[in-house]
Structure 1
Amino acid sequence: MTTATDTRSVIVEREIPQPATRIWKALTQSHLISEWLMNNDFEPRVGHKFKLRGEWGGILDCEVLAIEPERTLSYSWDFDNPDPAFALKSVVTYTLTPTDAGTHLRVEQAGFRPEQKQAYGGAHAGWKNFLAKLEEVVGAA
């Protein structure tokens, strides 16, 4: 049986030359989330259940777990897949820390089982791409 201590996390960090208020909007407004992450029915309210719809046709079931405006956002990120190598129950946490140059953004997706090497690698690459798009959206907002 797999326990929480048997899981790994993908962590991607980025310095964004924008204030936390702008990044927070891109993390919590549904139409902006659609521009950098996936189509969704997100609402910034603890307990809100929402779906992320990937361009590849996959649907992620999510629930807002924690919100501290302009500081932290956390939600479940569950992908049901018949292939256990890709079925994933995880938690994504965004942490924003103001810096002299803007904001340090840390994204952690926790919950990858040891046998999910491909999903882990895909998430690592995926988050780098998502954050590059996020930075474009925040710069244009």
Structure 2
Amino acid sequence: MTAEGTQTRTVVVERELPFPPNRVWRALTEPHLMAEWLMKTDFAPVQGHRFTLRGDWGGILDCEVLEIEPPERLVYSWVFPSDDPAYRLDSVVSFTLTPIASGTHLRVEQTGFAPDQKQAYGGAHAGWKGMLGKLADILAGLDG
């Protein structure tokens, strides 16, 4: 919510992956795998754990594990700090894994975009699509 109480926007990207939920979960929670499809990180799959995501573009995101239910749901804060309100992003990312006959349905939801953050919103939508493409490539190379 912004100071005016305006509703925030949410990015949702869904993908069916031909891999079992446990394999997808590994790629969502093991730092060396996260670095290959998302960003470099000191993530630990523990509720309350604070960690950073470091982008190749030089940005650093401050995060905290808010909810974890292996291998079904992972939720963490996703904060890009900035003194400029147009660039500051205080959001929450949720990953929901649902077993399906062909593997796993993955839903990624990022909430918290202010209505005037059109560039960040559009960038997140395109970014998650690209990252899930990389995730699928990483999963194909994993055992189990």
Per the shorter chain, which TM-score range? over 0.9
Q: Which amino acid aligns with 2:131?
A: F
The structural deviation recorded for 1:81 is 1.8
SS at match of 1:98: strand
Secondary structure in 1 matching 2:106: strand
Unaligned runs of 5+ in 1: none
Which secondary structure state, in structure 2, belongs to the residue aligned with residue 137 of structure 1?
Answer: helix
Contact kept, 8 Å, 1:64 with 1:74, in 2: the verdict is: yes
- What is the one-letter code of the residue matched to 1:98? P
Q: Does 1:29 align with 2:30?
A: yes
Normalised to the residue count of structure 1, the TM-score between the two structures is 0.97
**1:70-89 to 2 correspondences below 5 Å:** 70-89=71-90
**Residues 25-58 of structure 1, C-alpha deviation per residue, up to 9 Å, x if partnerless?**
0000000000000000000000000000000000
Q: Which residue of 2 aligns with 1:16?
A: 17
Q: Percent identity of the aligned residues?
A: 61
1:104-119 to 2 correspondences below 5 Å: 104-119=105-120
SS at match of 2:24: helix
**Normalised by the size of structure 2, how large is the TM-score?**
0.95
Instruction: Please tell me the residue identity of whatever aligns with 1:69.
Output: P
Contact 1:12/1:108, CA 8 A, preserved across alignment:
yes
Confirm or deny that 1:123 pairs with 2:124. Answer: yes
* Count of aligned residue pairs for this structure pair: 140
Residues of 2 paired with 1:136 and 1:24: CA distance? Answer: 14
Change (3 A) 1:19 1:2: farther
Q: Which residue number in structure 2 is paired with residue 132 of structure 1?
A: 133
Q: CA deviation at 1:82?
A: 2.9
Q: State the SS of the aligned residue for 2:137.
A: helix
Query: Is the CA contact (8 Å cut-off) linking 1:51 and 1:62 kept in structure 2?
Result: yes
Q: How does 1:90-101 map to 2 (within 5 A)?
A: 90-101=91-102
1:56 matched to 2:62: no
Conserved 8 A contact 1:8-1:114: yes
Stretches of structure 2 lacking an aligned partner (at least 5 in a row): none
Stretches (4+) displaced over 4 A: none
